[in-house]
Amino acid sequence: MSVETQGWGPLLIIALMAVVTLATRWGGVFVMSFVPIGHRTRQFIAAMSGSVLVALLAPLAVQGDGGARLALATTAVVMLVLKKPLPAIAAGILAAAVFRQLSV
């Protein structure tokens, strides 16, 4: 089924996007309310919470351009040394910017 993007069509399209997104925001909480939280569940959750981020970042690091890789590497190093997120993020962005300005 397709919806026209004229008139009030976009409202229907946006409403569908909003409902699906809200379902993903609520779904995990809803499902967990039926799962007993034991030691194993906690371990699953703890391992998964870091893994979400790693899984999000891995393709970015492997498929990204040199600027993207340099940015991530710089952020990781500065974060390991200073243990403060904001300088680490700033250094990463700066690294990407410098790399891309120099390599045209």
Partner 1 sequence: MLATDTPLRQHELDRHLVWIGFRQMVPIAVFVMVFGAAFGLAAMQSGLDPAWIVIMSTLVFAGAAQFATLDLWGAQVPMLALALTVFAINARHLLMGATLYPWLRPLPLARRYGVMVVASDANWALAMQAFGRGEPGLGVLLGGGLALWLFWVLGTWLGTQVGDLIADGRRWGLDMVMGCFLLAMVVGGQKNLRMLLIWLVAAGASLLAYRYLPENSHVVVGALAGGLLGMTWTEQSHER
Site for partner 1 in 30-69 (CB under 8 A): 30-33, 37, 39-60, 62-63, 67-68
Q: Position 31: which residue type?
A: V
Other beta carbons less than 10 A from residue 85's beta carbon: 11
Q: Under a CB-based contact definition with an 8 Å cutoff, are residues 75 and 91 in contact?
A: yes
* Residue numbers 70-89 binding partner 1 by CB under 8 A: 71-72, 75-76, 79-80, 83, 85-86, 88-89
Q: In the bound complex, what is the minimum distance in angstroms from residue 38's beta carbon to partner 1? A: 10
In the complex, least distance from residue 3 CB atom to partner 1, rounded to whole angstroms:
5
Report the C-alpha gap between 44 and 47 in whole angstroms: 5
